[in-house]
Amino acid sequence: MVIVTLQRDKCIGCNYCVEMAPSQFQMSKKDGKSVLLKSTNNKGFHTLKSSDHTIVENCELAVKACPVHIITVKET
């Protein structure tokens, strides 16, 4: 399993995560913050669980690129 999280409230809308992992992240036209696609929201922590391990590489690039460090990715 691959688990990606986004602490969305703290997003500053820089778009880097979308550039690194466009299949997982998209910018919201409503509030200009990043959206973690297919995630569920639990008190501001948006979590995506996926069995597709091919997403890890790009998501790790997004983790590194995010200037406010609000993305995590882990494999279980």
Could you say which of 12, 28, 49, 74 contacts ligand SF4 (CB under 6 A)?
12
Q: Are 6 and 71 in contact (CB under 8 A)?
A: yes
Start-to-end CA distance of the chain, whole Å, equals: 5
By C-beta, is 51 or 55 nearer to ligand SF4? 55
Question: For 25-29, which contacts have Cβ atoms below 8 Å and span 24 or more sequence positions?
Answer: 25/62
**Closest distance of CB 70 from ligand SF4, Å:** 5
Rule CB under 6 A: is residue 59 a binding residue for ligand SF4? no
- Which residues sit at the interface with ligand SF4, rule CB under 6 A? 6, 11-17, 34, 65-68, 70-71
